[in-house]
Structure 1
Amino acid sequence: MQVARFHIPSYLNASIPAEYRGMKRDEVRMMSLDTKGRISHLRFHHLVDCLRPGDLLVLNNSRTIPAVLYGKKGKQTVEIRLSQRLSAQEWEAVVIGMVAVGDQIMLPGDVQATIVAGGSEKPLVILRFSESSLEFIYKYGRPIRYEYIDTPWPLDAYQTVYASVPGSVEMPSAGRAFTWGLLNQLQDKGIGIAFLQLHTGLGYYGNDQWANPKFHHEAYAIPQKTATLINETQKRGGRIIAVGTTVVRALETAANDNGEVTAKAGTTNLYIRKDYKLRVADGLITGFHEPEASHLDLLTAFIQEDVLLKAYQEALQQGYLWHEFGDMNLILPADLQ
């Protein structure tokens, strides 16, 4: 990854959800940025003024699961962070503790997890559970909580309001600032809404180790209704606005060279960088990303790296908040605004 020339001070790490700070979700700040580098400082609910009738918002309605489990290997307590479901009983995961292939971890409810192999990259391993139901995970799991969050917020804090299909281990956070009220306002203006799913895996393994996008497979599904809406919007000259880098990856995976999207489901490890020619998304709603994250590379497919870095420096100076509970960034093409 190339985009890594800024530092996020700790006081800009958002550790408290907006609704616990006495505000609505859609009252978080939003930096609107076009491809010429023109910046506006707004609130997220001003999105209705930034988009126009005929545009289509594509959102990821994957629902966050409580992906952290605690168990015992002998007398040792180990932490399991689920990353990707491989089958009914097998998951790729990070196991924090002294473990090796063949070890068995005892979990609540008399469930057992066996480390059967190494995963797609270190430190991931493949775990086989004796219980295949998601009910076990929902009963005993907790949301993934990284170092900058001190409070064990409830699982609902890690959901978008429209999340409906369980599967993500990290929240598809680009959509967190939407409220039903804002979605209704957008639709009243003639802006379309469409949904797909991409179940996010672990993007960060701990100890300053990030997922390698080349090995980072994530399951996705694009319904026929969504594919049809996208293709019809493009034919009418409307803009496709992706809500999150997850949506961009799914759309680009399912698109042909002409930008037509096909309804399909599967897994993708598509790695989008500045040399990638986008075929579907015209604009992007996203959070602010760490310099080590591959998500930031994806942004340079929408906007030149130097323009993005200059905007990020202004965001830092203006005190925008980072991470899943933070502020938002809207990127639109200058020639179509």
Structure 2
Amino acid sequence: MRVDLFDFDLPPERIALRPARPRDSARLLLVEGEMISDRAILDLPQLLRPQDVLVFNDTKVIPAQLEGRKGEASIGATLHKREGLRGWWAFVRNARRLKSGDRVDFAADVAASVVEKGADGSVLLHFHGEEPVEVLLHRAGTMPLPPYIASKRVVDAQDASDYQTLFAREEGAVAAPTASLHFTERLISALDETGIKRETLTLHVGAGTFLPVKAEDTADHRMHAEWGRVDEATAERLNQARAAGGRLIAVGTTALRLIESAADEDGKVRPFEGDTSIFITPGYRFRAVDGLVTNFHLPRSTLFMLVSALMGLDVMKRAYAHAIDAGYRFYSYGDGSLLLPQPAK
């Protein structure tokens, strides 16, 4: 499909620079089939069924934004995918100044050497020393806020908690599964009382999620791989819930992509561990996911393509036009939506 079909105009003032406070006070756009209505995140217990399962991503964001120098050259690195114990692929500002073997000195006595450059322009860095790389990053790095926020204000101490979800357990993401940012203990308690179940899986979100689609046709775009895991017990519980009539509602596009990567042609979720580069566009047949809680996404992005695949491009264009007119807040710190497609006949 032509990428320009997924374009729309978004006024800059609709981009949220801080999350709602409290988190669960955010608005929620309900898109059910072709019907669109204005609700609130706290309405979720009434909008879902007792047998439904909310599936969360328990990845934890690491401080993956680094500033350093190679000689006189200023180098900025945004890590996006681990490679072994001490290696990370990174998108690098001023990468043209680097060659294999070069040393880059970051803050707090953290240093790395350039191993190689990838075909996509990213750089493989090998971090020096014996301390775990995560320890080094907590010493020298900052939270990797999306560019549409970081370009408008300074990343500060508040972001260390704001950009982390209630479910964050497994360190390795360089971007948050932002749909989960709306969930609080109060909301979880209300969901529990209604009988709605929840499960967690892990997908370490990479910075590639923010890269623009430069191709003119979706067939020519290549996704960056991200590492994920669905263990055997979780897969079995998801299958049991669905067999009993419950719906699998992914909380975030990351959880959705991992479930669909793990599901077979018959819709059974299998244990999964490894990389996925699944790219979901209109025409995709969903195997296991029945609905999605997600924030509002960028024009021409792979994530807007994904929600358009789930609900239909025309429906999502109408939904986004309504959200813009109604003053919804967009992107990572913005409001949410609940997308429930009509069941397939």
Query: What is the aligned partner in structure 2 of residue 88 from structure 1?
Result: 85
Give structure 1 stretches of 5+ with no counterpart. none
Instruction: Give the residue type in structure 2 aligned to 1:57.
Output: L
Alignment correspondent of 1:99: 97
The match for 1:195 is 200
Q: Which amino acid aligns with 1:133?
A: V
Tell me if 1:302 matches 2:314: no
In structure 1, the partner of 2:50 is: 53
CA distance in 2, matches of 1:147, 1:173: 14
Superposition CA RMSD, Å: 1.9
CA contact (8 A) 2:23 2:181 kept: yes
Q: After TM superposition, give the deviation of residue 182 of structure 1 in Å.
A: 0.7
Q: Alignment length, in residue pairs?
A: 329
Match of 1:156?
A: 161
For residues 237-316 of structure 1, the aligned pairs below 5 Å read 237-316=245-324
Q: 1:205 to 1:172 in 2, by over 3 A?
A: closer
Report the secondary structure of 1:72's partner residue.
Answer: strand
Identity of aligned residues (%): 32
Matches within 5 A, 1:46-195: 46-97=43-94, 98-102=96-100, 103-122=102-121, 124-131=122-129, 132-145=132-145, 146-148=147-149, 149-154=152-157, 155-195=160-200
- Alignment partners' CA distance in 2, 1:187 and 1:152: 35
> CA-to-partner distance for each residue in 1:6-34, whole Å, 9 max, x for gaps?
11111001001223xxxx10110110001
Instruction: Tell me: CA distance 1:2–1:284, structure 2 relative to 1, closer, same or farther (3 Å).
Output: farther
SS at match of 1:110: coil
In structure 1, C-alpha distance between the alignment counterparts of 2:161 and 2:221, rounded to whole Å: 28
Instruction: Kindly indicate whether the alpha-carbon contact (under 8 Å) linking 2:108 and 2:139 is maintained by their aligned counterparts in 1.
Output: no
**Per-residue Cα deviation, 1:30-58 (whole angstroms, up to 9, x for no partner):** 100012x2111011111111001100000
Change (3 A) 1:250 1:127: same
1:236 Cα offset (Å) = 0.6
Q: Give the partner amino acid of 1:165.
A: E
Q: In 2, are the aligned partners of 1:214 and 1:270 still within 8 Å (CA)?
A: no
> Which 5+ residue runs of structure 2 have no aligned equivalent?
none
Contact 1:120 1:215 in 2 (8 A): no
**TM-aligned CA deviation for residue 185 of structure 1:** 1.1
Q: Is it true that 1:11 corresponds to 2:13 in the alignment? A: yes
Residues in 2 aligned to 1:8 and 1:144: alpha-carbon distance in whole angstroms: 23
TM-score (norm 1): 0.92
The CA deviation string for residues 140-162 of structure 1, in whole angstroms up to 9 with x for no partner, is: 11011324341423311110111
Letter in 2 for 1:105: V
- Closer/same/farther in 2, CA of residues 135 and 63 from structure 1, 3 Å limit: same
Asked if 1 retains the 8 angstrom alpha-carbon contact of 2:81 and 2:88, the reply is yes
Is residue 25–residue 176 contact of structure 1 (8 Å, CA) maintained in 2? yes
Aligned to 1:44: 41
Greater Cα shift, 91-100 or 38-47? 91-100
How far residue 179 of structure 1 moved from its aligned partner, in angstroms, is: 0.6
